[in-house]
Structures are given as structure tokens and as C-alpha cells.
Amino acid sequence: MKKRQFIFIMTDTQRLDMINVFNERREMHTPNLDKLVEQGVSFERAYTTQPVCGPARSAIFTGTYPHTNGMLGNGMELGEYVKTLGQRLSAEGVHCGYIGKWHLDGGDYFGDGICPDGWDDAYWYDMRNYLMEMPKQDRVRSRNFLSCFDEQGIDESFTYAHKCSQKAMEFIEAHKDEDFLLVLSYDEPHGPFLAPKEFFEPFKGQRVFEKENMHIDINTLPAHIQLWANNGRKVFANEEGLGLAGCNSFVDYEIGRVLGTIENHLAEPTIMYTSDHGDSMGSHGIYGKGAAMYDEITNIPLIMMNPTWDEKNSRRHEAVSHIDIVPTILDYFDVKKPEALFGESLLSKEKTVGELKDQAFIEFNRYEVDHDGFGGYQPVRCVVKDGYKLVISLMSDDELYDLSKDPQEMDNLIHNPKVQSIRDELHDALLDWMDVTRDPFRGYYWEDRSWRENAPKPNWENHYMTRQRITEPGEVKQLDYDTGLEITEFNRKKKLY
């Protein structure tokens, strides 16, 4: 009987153009990911659901948006009723292994070292496990980029990426004759960019992230972006640019080791590859990620490959989302998507890539709960559809970009009458999405924008609806406030007094 084996590999902080074949100037060194692109299907307009580590991962592993599952920012945990992919598949008898960064337990950056329900604890290896293996002096060295260039240097066996790869290769060899889902989640190329120094050599003195939109007049940008840009940090020409490019090359090398083991031991596995978010690296005058929707932060690689598929080196240009990953993997294992999940499977009935919606939604709430910086609470909602991107920044200024004509997002069309109908259609789609997903921050203020001529008048009751959470089998049924009986309609008109 044909084995169902799914390997899901992801990195942290890798935007689409950090894979060499998607880099306009071909300045990245990613031969293994390039090969994966050549062998599979690439979604060139794939988007994160929130450009922050924890919230992005919450959608990747639950199939629900951050504003729905409770992870509004880093340092916040999933709602207790939210099930992960591992829980869902293990309940169906699928062996699930998770190796690498998790970032969903609500603790510090490194995790709590405890294997969550649904995953094989024999292979669990988050970043706390990695640090706890080291003497204190090595822990400190592992958090300092300059360790790569000191007298001792960094050997690949010292890195988190190498240790995660080793465990993944052991899992594949041990379970090659059974059905399984394996998640391999690298922290790299996220800072502190730890890698052997030879991986940085090709990028020394280079401005590999140089783009025209680095030199945009920041006074034309939304107010909160101007504040961010004026924060005084310039990154694209300093050690952070070198670090990100070099570590990006190193994690590609580590992925290549795992891909070799897959090729040697598995006959017809399906491989999916992505990253949680990107990094601005100076584009639009800003650094890092956060309360912005520019492609440098939100447009991430998403690649799928199966050796039996006829499609090779196929490039798809419809907008898709991380929210589609859980439905896709459930579909692969013939598990019905629960009603409470969002997104759609990317697979056809024949389990190859099928038709796509061309629609992705992105949000931002806050960067993290532990720190006061990074802009604090900055509610932003975004839709990418039909080649356009609409961004509503509730406490700042809105944006609209024609991505086909303006891929670097330098010409804000939000007040341009020539695209009024397109803008308003996107606006309606965004408002509908906020309703359907029970966005806790929805309200009349998202509708009442200065550029929307036919916006409804503000109304205290908003849309007059009750939108209660859908309960799943095994959960306590919710009761209707007005009758005390079990709810039969989760979305219904409110009773007005």
C-alpha cells in the first residue's frame, strides 16, 4: 500500500527573494531550495497571516487566524480550545513528529522545552532543549553573531540548524516504512545568524538587499511607517545584512542534507517548504518586521513537491496564504477539514495542486506583549487579491498598491479615482473576512474611511449580528443567551430590544 509521508520544512525570517531563483539579481546562494523549486510547484504570491513569528506560526499550525486563536502577538499563547495540526492528525492515527522552533507556548523566545500534545516527544527539540545541552559560556556564544568570526569560530555541529537536521534525518530513517507527518522548523536565518564563517564570505562588502524602495521619500508613507523609519537604524549595509544573507545560505545547506536523506529513503513523499515572515532590510526605510504589509515582510516562499507529480518547475501567481497549510495537509491524509477552520486545500482531488482562489488576508495587532516597543498596538488589516493590495491601518494611513505595475509598492493609489471601484471591492472583501473570522476588533471604524464615498454611517450595533465560535465534536456545546438551549446557528441576527 502506498505510504502517505509528508515533510513540512520551514525557516524563520526568509522573504521570497531570499531564494536565489526568485532574486532579481541572483545574489543569493540557495542551490538546494532552487532545486526544490525546479522539482515542484512554487506559489510566488504566498503570504503570511501576520508578519511576526508567533502569530504567523499560530495560523500555520492551527488553520485559524491570530485574531481568532488568541495569539495577537509574541509572548501570547493559543486559546485553550484551539487544536494544532499534530492533535488533529494524531487523533486519526497519523504519527506526527515536530523538530525545531515552536514559539506557540506563550513563553520566552526559546520555548519551554515541553512537547505539546499530538507530537512524538522522542523527537521534540525546541530551542530551550538546544540551550540546555550547553555550558553557560556556549549559550552566550550561541547568541552572538560575532562568535562566527572569533578565534574559536562556529562549527556547523554547534548550530541549532545542524542539530535539528540530524534529528530529522534520524526520524526519516526510523519511520520510512510508515505514514507520518514530520515538521522541521529551523530558527535560521533569524538572528543571531550563527553559521560557519565561510558562509558569509561571498556577501562581504555586498549590499545584497539593495532595492529602489530603500530610497523612497518616507514623508509620503503612512505616519506610523515614518516614525518607524526615523527610529535611526540602518541595516542593509551593516553586519545584519551580511548575517542574514550568510545564514540564509547556511540553512539552505542544512536543508540540502535533509533532502538527500528523503531522496535516499522515501519513495513518494510530499514536501512543503515555507518561512514564517520576511524582513524589510531597509526597504521603505524600515527594518525587521511588524506593523507593515509590504512584500518584503509578508510575501514568503511556499513550495510543494512530490516526485509523482507531472508539474515540475511550475510557478503559480495566484495569492495564497499560510491559512491554507493545515487544510492542505489534512486533505493529503484524507481528513475532513473541520468547520471551524479557515483556508482551503491547495490540492486537487488527485492530490496534486489544484485551482486556487487568488486571495490572501493579512493582519497585525502588536509585535509582542512583553515589550513596549515595536510600535505597540497598531491594528492593521490587509487583503491581496487580483494583483492589488489594500491596507487599512486603523490608527494611521491606508494604502493601495497595484502589484503588477508597482511591485516595490512605491505609488500609493488609495485616493486615486481611477481605481475607486477596485479599491472599494477589496474593502468590502476585507470587511466580510473580518466578520466571517470573528475578528474581535471589527467595527464601524474599519468601514468609515475618508476615501470611501459610500461608506455606511457609523452604527453602534454594527452589522446586527451574533457571531459565536463554532464548537467542535467533543467540546461543551454553547448555549443561546436568549433561550438557554444549545445553539443551532452560530451566525445569526441579534435580538434587539
**pLDDT tens digits along 306-363:** 999 998 999 999 999 999 999 999 999 999 999 999 999 999 988 899 889 899 999 9
pLDDT at residue 234, as a whole number: 60
Amino acid at 252: D
Report the alpha-carbon distance of residue 209 to residue 280 in Å, rounded. Answer: 9
Residue found under cell 507556548:
105
Q: Which of 29, 103, 224, 322 is catalytic?
A: 103
Question: pTM to 2 decimals?
Answer: 0.96
Kindly state the percentage of the chain with pLDDT values over 90.
84
Q: What is the mean pLDDT of residues 208-214?
A: 94
The residue among 177, 181, 189, 334 whose CA lies nearest residue 251 is: 189
CA–CA–CA angle 414, 417, 423 (5° rounding): 50
Q: 116-121 long-range CB contacts below 8 Å, 24 or more apart?
A: 116/84, 116/86, 117/84, 117/86, 117/87, 118/83, 118/84, 118/85, 118/86, 118/87, 118/88, 118/89, 118/90, 118/91, 119/86, 119/90, 120/95, 120/96
**pLDDT tens digits along 391-417:** 999 999 999 999 999 999 999 999 999
Contact between 288 and 244 (Cβ < 8 Å): no
**pLDDT tens digits along 411-424:** 999 999 999 999 99
Catalytic residue check, 103: yes
pLDDT at residue 237, as a whole number: 46
Q: Classify burial at 232, counting beta carbons within 10 Å of its beta carbon; exposed 0-12, middle 13-18, buried 19 or more.
A: exposed
Residue found under cell 538587499:
209
**pLDDT tens digits along 226-267:** 999 988 666 544 568 999 999 999 999 999 999 999 999 999
pLDDT at residue 192, as a whole number: 96
pLDDT at residue 235, as a whole number: 52
- Indicate whether 496 pLDDT > 80: no
What's the whole-number average pLDDT of the chain? 94
Q: Which of 29, 53, 190, 277 is catalytic?
A: 53
Q: Catalogue all structural domains in the chain, each as residue range(s) with its CATH number.
A: 5-361 (3.40.720.10), 380-463 (3.30.1120), 464-497 (no CATH)
**pLDDT tens digits along 60-113:** 999 999 999 999 999 999 988 899 999 999 999 999 999 999 999 988 999 999
pLDDT at residue 238, as a whole number: 57
Q: Classify burial at 343, counting beta carbons within 10 Å of its beta carbon; exposed 0-12, middle 13-18, buried 19 or more.
A: buried
Catalytic residue check, 247: no
pLDDT at residue 481, as a whole number: 87
Report the alpha-carbon distance of residue 414 to residue 406 in Å, rounded. Answer: 14
Contact between 72 and 381 (Cβ < 8 Å): no
pLDDT at residue 373, as a whole number: 84
**pLDDT tens digits along 108-152:** 999 999 999 999 999 999 999 999 999 999 999 999 999 999 999
pLDDT at residue 497, as a whole number: 57
pLDDT at residue 232, as a whole number: 67
